[in-house]
Structure 1
């Protein structure tokens, strides 16, 4: 029996489609405007093709001709239209942001390709745009594209084995007459224990120079838990284990921050001028050092200690690219290409592969059940 097929639009490094690949799907194509992302994507997606093209210029002929798949034959079209237009971190967000209309380009491709299923991911901030009208418009337009069975769910990544507090909205729809449902959580609240920061990164070697392991490094020890064993599968060494260089004043600041601490632990005279005027209730994650036995804060497109709790739990430095990737549940076999800045962008923009796999497994199960009931 042939594997079900997947195409990933706005793919970036391909975290969403990697989850589907790990669930047994065949990823035939990824597309993104940035060719650097394509280098990462192609190495981690067996037998896939990549199109470096803007979504506005992407046509159904591009997709169908490149994959050899006819209209209506694709099993799943996945994608995460760039979310910055909706993000709670973008205070000018809204429908006027040109990036906020990219979901319509995704739906344009849906109409031409007619996949059996579609999966579209975004940030939860879009639920509040225009008083919820944008959310209603998205659901309406998906139905109008020929997918009457559609629903959305706000996922908590940590409930699916990801060592990070991360909230994302995922729309799932199909044209097969199958009522949409969502995978049950696997971690927390009486299920398996959450995967912690140290569960995720404790086997990685310490870094004493920011770029000392840029070309690769040996693991610090044997895998200590199931999460490390899973992510190390197929990898003999650590790649992308490099971190931003901190200025002397930032090194002096982080030395004062204990595990679970933040900017409030920095002596007043060492605080940046703007933060000396801040209320104690503000900037709760800035200059944060997570507890080893806790969850990471949301991994963004750079682990800048000014932005959040991105200080290593033990060392006085920021997280490395590989540590951020571990906290996103990327396998160590995925090598991120480009500059360090581009690597962090690829990691931070991705859907955690473990969350994506849970969604992929659930869709596969629903499809099998529908075939069984129809027989």
Structure 2
């Protein structure tokens, strides 16, 4: 029997209750670390390279050590590892549903910075693994983040048809989710560098009092690098 971590006990008693998320293609865990800072519990974090997961462990990102999943998202065994971790939380800690699924699939095939592109269709299609997990886990919210060209890049969808990533997201998820697609520059949201990215925010349609616009971040004044990390 798993002993309930103190952080989960405390969150259950808080005004917000126990809030959870799963992160796919999580790299060193920096992109979704803000959820931890806001009090969310990380059920699972999936990354292909173990050395990146070591950074996440150092930062205590996942609540349970079993949540660090080193695996290939194209493999069913990795999907099963995620589902097992979710089931563990369901059975041991009583969560009824996942709050947020975050995915930042590799973007080399879409990035203008990649000048050595070959056949990138396979890498672009990794987003379909994220779509599949949203369909399987049915989180209340999902967030996909990637480069500016993300939505118009071509992927091979779950039906085997090559189509734009935006079309793949829409055809698979728009029946259950209200979805906002938006290109933003992170410097307008407190990031100390000019970084243009695509955000896709989905809100499950049974969340009647919430829209994607409600949870979209507010703009913040630009910050310098010194203002951001000068105290370290």
**Runs of 4+ with >4 A deviation:** 91-96
CA drift of 1:28 comes to 1.6
Q: Give CA-to-partner distance per residue, 1:119-152, whole Å, 9 cap, x none.
A: 111101224436xx614313413425x5330111
Structure 2 residue aligned with 1:100, among 110, 120, 124?
124
The correspondence for 1:52, drawn from 44, 64, 70, is 70
* Counterpart selection for 1:40 from 42, 48, 55: 55
**Structure 2 match to 1:180:** 212
| TM-score (normalizing by structure 1) | 0.48
Query: Higher strand fraction: Structure 1 or Structure 2?
Result: 2
Match of 2:8 in 1: none
> Mind listing any 5+ residue stretches in structure 2 that lack a counterpart?
1-11, 155-162
Query: Could you tell me how far 1:15 is from its partner in structure 2?
Result: 1.6
SS of equivalent residue, structure 1 residue 106? helix
Distance 1:107 1:89, change over 3 A: same
Shift of the alpha carbon at 1:155?
2.2
Alignment of 1:137-176 (within 5 A): 137-143=167-173, 146-175=175-204, 176=207
Larger of the two Rg values belongs to structure: 1
CA distance in 1, matches of 2:120, 2:165: 15
Aligned residues: 195
Asked whether the 8 Å contact 2:47–2:72 carries over to 1, the reply is yes
Query: How far does residue 93 in structure 1 lie from its aligned partner after superposition?
Result: 5.3
Deviation (angstroms), 1:87: 0.5
Alignment counterpart, residue 32 of structure 2, candidates 12, 17, 21: 17
Q: Is the 8 A contact 2:26 2:104 kept in 1?
A: yes
Contact 2:45 2:62 in 1 (8 A): no
- 2:6 aligned residue: none
Asked if structure 2 preserves the Cα contact closer than 8 Å seen for 1:139 and 1:150, the reply is no
The partner residue of 1:62 within 81, 96, 105 is 81
The Cα shift of 1:197 comes to 3.2
Residue 172 of structure 1 and its aligned partner are, at CA, apart by 0.7
Contact 2:183–2:197, Cα closer than 8 Å, also in 1: yes
Cross-structure match for 1:280: none
Structure-2 separation of matches of 1:112 and 1:106: 10
The 1:72–1:82 alpha-carbon spacing in structure 2 relative to 1, beyond 3 Å, is farther
Aligned to 1:122: 146
The 5-angstrom pairing of residues 227-246 of structure 1 reads 228=231, 232=232
Distance 2:131 2:165 in 1: 14
Q: In the TM superposition, what is the alpha-carbon distance from 1:195 to its structure 2 partner?
A: 1.4
* Structure 1, gaps ≥5 residues long: 188-193, 204-227, 233-375
Q: Deviations over 1:88-135 (max 9, x none)?
A: 1124659843110000011111111111111111101224436xx614
Tell me how large the CA RMSD over aligned residues is: 2.5
- Partner of 1:149: helix, strand, or coil? strand
> What residue is the counterpart of 1:218 in the other structure?
none
Asked whether the 8 Å contact 1:16–1:79 carries over to 2, the reply is: no
> Which of residues 100, 104, 117 is equivalent to 1:80?
104
Shift of 1:31: 0.5
Change in Cα spacing, 1:94 to 1:174, as seen in structure 2 (3 Å) is: farther
